[in-house]
């Protein structure tokens, strides 16, 4: 009870394999043959073997999606990608590396061995040997979310610095002068740029940055908690805190509620990312929204045009960022 092959179809329809193949692809077929082939396919329940096809055409119609983790942002992107790429016949195979070089290498290895058509790569900043190898390979690589300086390839990024600066400036406009910041890992551009935005905002306002108020975390919930805990314990605590991503914000919120503090009353918060949840927390949180649909659309377009060969040169597109959701007091 093996799966029928194109040969079975050809036999049943009384034509040559080549003809069936052409039917499957070009569709340029004499009418009588076409109906016979269609009949045969239906009768046999034939389904083309993608593997054999891929082997011949050297196209797997598969895109790899390699991210550090499936958080709300990346899942959102994934959702859109699956939808739009599926519509064009592509499937997505997912990998995640928890910022571990081993995992990245392993994923790339697998992607390469699977002859994936293109790969969307997020969350790496180290250009390991494997990454380099990948970049020089024949499959397009799209760097996404965080920049990897010095690497020439398609990139889809977010203007982290400008958005952070904008948000922090708002805080300053509201009268805050001591603003804490909780950054992510400073090895990556995302962490660097968001911090940079914070600093620029101060600079522009003629404020100096108190290094004591700069907490370097690593994007995790616990980092946010710890940071906030440290801020609260200070003699002269900040009146507002800027978190570089939503997970750390959650940690910070957790810490606040543990200490009986209230957002918007005791302290104000600014945060990158804007999960729906944040709308539930009473005013006092300013959130920076990332345009997920827009980013995903860009990614899709770049992938497709690269694969069509119609892509313009390595183009680095910066998706812009929407404004804050709720205002601080």
Partner DNA sequence: AGCTTAATTGGAAAGGTTTCAAGTTGCTCA
Partner DNA sequence: TGAGCAACTTGAAACCTTTCCAATTAAGCT
Per partner kind, with CB cut-offs from 5 to 8 A, the member of its own copies, DNA, none near residue 213 is none
Binding site for its own copies (CB under 8 A): 3, 45, 47-52, 54-55, 60, 62, 69-72, 75-76, 78-79, 82-83, 86, 91-96, 106-107, 109-110, 112-115, 133, 138, 221, 250, 253-254, 257, 275-277, 279-282
Pick from 35, 39, 49, 187 the residue near DNA by CB under 7 A: 49
* CA 171 – CA 206 distance, rounded (Å): 14
The answer to whether 214 and 231 are in contact (CB under 8 A) is: no
- Kindly state the smallest distance separating residue 109's Cβ from DNA, in Å: 14
Pairing of strands 179-183, 214-216: parallel
Pick from 42, 56, 150, 233 the residue near DNA by CB under 7 A: 56
Taking the CA atoms of 184, 190, 193 and 194 in sequence, report the sign of the dihedral they define. negative
* CA 75 – CA 166 distance, rounded (Å): 26
- Residue span binding DNA (CB under 7 A) among the ranges 49-57, 124-132, 135-143, 312-320: 49-57
- Kindly state the smallest distance separating residue 96's Cβ from its own copies, in Å: 5
Pick from 11, 38, 53, 61 the residue near DNA by CB under 7 A: 53
- Residue span binding DNA (CB under 7 A) among the ranges 48-56, 163-171, 177-185, 274-282: 48-56
Q: Give the residue among 197, 70, 189 at the shortest CA–CA distance from 126.
A: 189
Query: 143: buried, middle or exposed (CB in 10 Å: 19+, 13-18, 0-12)?
Result: buried
Q: Give the residue among 176, 166, 170, 182 at the shortest CA–CA distance from 267.
A: 176
235 part of the interface to DNA, by CB under 7 A: no
Token duo for residue 32: 């009588």
* CA 13 – CA 143 distance, rounded (Å): 47
Per partner kind, with CB cut-offs from 5 to 8 A, the member of DNA, its own copies, none near residue 175 is none
Pairing of strands 316-319, 154-158: parallel
* CA 147 – CA 150 distance, rounded (Å): 9
Q: Report the residue number, 72 or 301, with the smaller CB distance to its own copies.
A: 72
The answer to whether 242 and 167 are in contact (CB under 8 A) is: yes
Token duo for residue 204: 């522009």
- Residue span binding DNA (CB under 7 A) among the ranges 47-55, 124-132, 171-179, 204-212: 47-55
- Kindly state the smallest distance separating residue 9's Cβ from its own copies, in Å: 14
Per partner kind, with CB cut-offs from 5 to 8 A, the member of DNA, its own copies, none near residue 24 is DNA
15 part of the interface to DNA, by CB under 7 A: yes
Q: Output DSSP code: residue 329.
A: -
Q: Which residues contact DNA (rule: CB under 7 A)? A: 2-3, 5-7, 14-22, 24-25, 28-30, 33, 46, 48-49, 52-53, 55-57
């Amino acid at each position: 009870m093996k799966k029928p092959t194109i040969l079975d179809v050809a036999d049943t329809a009384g034509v040559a394999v080549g003809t069936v193949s052409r039917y499957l692809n070009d569709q340029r077929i004499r009418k009588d043959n076409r109906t016979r082939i269609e009949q045969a396919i239906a009768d046999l329940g034939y389904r083309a073997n993608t593997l054999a096809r891929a082997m011949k055409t050297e196209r797997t119609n598969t895109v790899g999606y390699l991210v550090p983790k499936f958080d709300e942002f990346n899942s959102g992107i994934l959702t859109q990608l699956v939808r739009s790429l599926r519509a064009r016949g592509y499937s997505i195979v997912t990998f995640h590396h928890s910022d571990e070089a081993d995992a990245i290498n392993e994923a790339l290895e697998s992607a390469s061995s699977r002859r994936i058509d293109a790969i969307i790569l997020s969350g790496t900043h180290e250009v390991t040997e494997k990454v380099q190898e990948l970049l020089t390979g024949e499959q397009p690589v799209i760097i996404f979310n965080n920049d990897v300086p010095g690497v020439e390839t398609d990139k889809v990024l977010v203007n982290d610095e400008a958005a952070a600066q904008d948000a922090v400036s708002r805080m300053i406009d509201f009268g805050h002068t001591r603003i804490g910041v909780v950054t992510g890992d400073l090895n990556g551009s995302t962490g660097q740029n968001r911090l940079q935005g914070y600093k620029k905002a101060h600079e522009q306002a003629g404020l100096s940055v108190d290094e004591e108020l700069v907490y370097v975390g690593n994007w995790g919930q616990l980092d946010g908690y710890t940071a906030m805990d440290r801020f609260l314990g200070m003699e002269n605590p900040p009146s507002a805190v800027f978190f570089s991503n939503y997970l750390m914000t959650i940690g910070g919120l957790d810490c606040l509620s543990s200490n009986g503090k209230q957002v918007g009353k005791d302290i104000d918060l600014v945060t990158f990312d804007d999960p729906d949840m944040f709308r539930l927390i009473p005013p006092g949180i300013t959130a920076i929204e990332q345009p997920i649909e827009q980013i995903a659309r860009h990614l899709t377009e770049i992938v497709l045009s690269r694969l069509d060969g119609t892509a313009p040169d390595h183009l680095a597109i910066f998706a812009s960022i929407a404004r804050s959701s709720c205002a601080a007091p």
